[in-house]
Amino acid sequence: MVRPLLILIFLLSLYHTLTAGKVLPSSEGISIEETNYVKVEKYVYHESKIDVLLVGSSRTAKLDPQYISDDAQNLGMRGFSSTLGLELVKNTELKPSIVLVEINGTIGLTDEELIKSLFDPLTYYTRLYFPMFRTEYRPVSVFIQAVRNLLENLNIITLEEIDQARVNPAFREKIVQEKLKEYNQTLSQKEKTDLRYKAESIKSKIEEIENSGVQVFLYDIPGDRRIDNTMKSSQERELLQNLFPSNKFEWLPEPPDRDWNTSDGVHLISNDAKVFTEFIRTQMSGVGASR
């Protein structure tokens, strides 16, 4: 009975040493939920000052922060929104210099249980001092990440090529047409009321973060031109611009007018996400972001 216990302790100690020393590759997640958790934990347990932090939905999740700054981080999460990201910024002591907040119809999607679990004292300090308990160091996820890294290093396949391969033109067009039917309608009174309520929550979080010395900029992400020009999308943008007026909130300029390529009418494919992220970097160059 003692020997198996000693072996277990040895293996755990070894794994802790490998993760704490960053010998093992950190996983980016092998599922949507896991990827979200990895992003959240990497932010909550970061040890150095973050230059630029992006918060938002799955649209923002497509943006690679390395094209903005070496010290940038992305808290865009599938199924959630800027509300969750801003709540995390509020609850962490070491805050970023700049926070970029995605503002569109996705605002308001959050997860109170996730926030509670992250900042529960037992959970927080266990993961803070023992990285092996974080989602990014789950053994299976680490193994899959190592394989991915190997394939990229050998130039066998890149993440961009994987992303491009997922885009099926016929399937994409079908999704776009379905979205056009949904968005070629006026914004309902209930939707307007919901947006106003969610906007007030975002505003209060932004105010609290700005009071702690953080610069906050608002932005939206372009998608398929046909969907962006629908009645519902146009009304949504107009309402949000009124709720977040430019005389009170700092908005990034509109991105270049071009045909943005998406996988589903909404989410930019990797190449176009890179173009948009580089556009953000250009805007940040005048406000202290690293080039």
Q: Give the model confidence (pLDDT) of 153-165 as tens digits.
A: 777 655 555 565 5
Q: Is the pLDDT of residue 289 over 50?
A: no
Are 274 and 67 within 8 A, CB to CB? yes
Q: Is the pLDDT of residue 150 over 90?
A: no
pLDDT, residue 160, reads 59
Range with lowest mean pLDDT among 16-20, 129-133, 210-214: 16-20
Are 87 and 55 within 8 A, CB to CB? no
* 204: its two tokens: 């209060």
Angle at 231 between CA 277 and CA 86, to 5 degrees: 40
Are 120 and 4 within 8 A, CB to CB? no
Are 25 and 145 within 8 A, CB to CB? yes
Q: Give the model confidence (pLDDT) of 44-103 as tens digits.
A: 988 888 999 999 999 999 999 999 988 999 999 988 899 999 999 998 989 999 999 999
pLDDT, residue 291, reads 38
3-state secondary structure 159-193: HHHHHHHHCCHHHHHHHHHHHHHHHCCCCCHHHHH
Are 84 and 110 within 8 A, CB to CB? yes
> Is residue 166 very low, low, confident or very high in pLDDT (cuts 50, 70, 90)?
low
Are 224 and 260 within 8 A, CB to CB? yes
Alpha helix segments (H runs only) across the chain: 2-20, 32-44, 58-61, 82-91, 112-119, 121-129, 139-153, 159-166, 169-183, 189-211, 225-228, 231-243, 270-284
Q: Give the model confidence (pLDDT) of 195-238 as tens digits.
A: 999 999 999 999 999 999 999 999 999 999 999 999 999 999 99
pLDDT, residue 163, reads 60
Distance CA 189, CA 181 (A): 19
Q: How high is the mean pLDDT of the chain? A: 87
pLDDT-above-70 percentage for the chain: 93
pLDDT, residue 290, reads 42
Strand-strand pairing, 98-102 and 72-76 = unpaired
Closest CA to 75 of 44, 105, 97: 44
Long-range contacts of 164-168 (CB under 8 A, 24+ apart): 164/269, 164/270, 164/271, 166/263, 167/263, 167/269
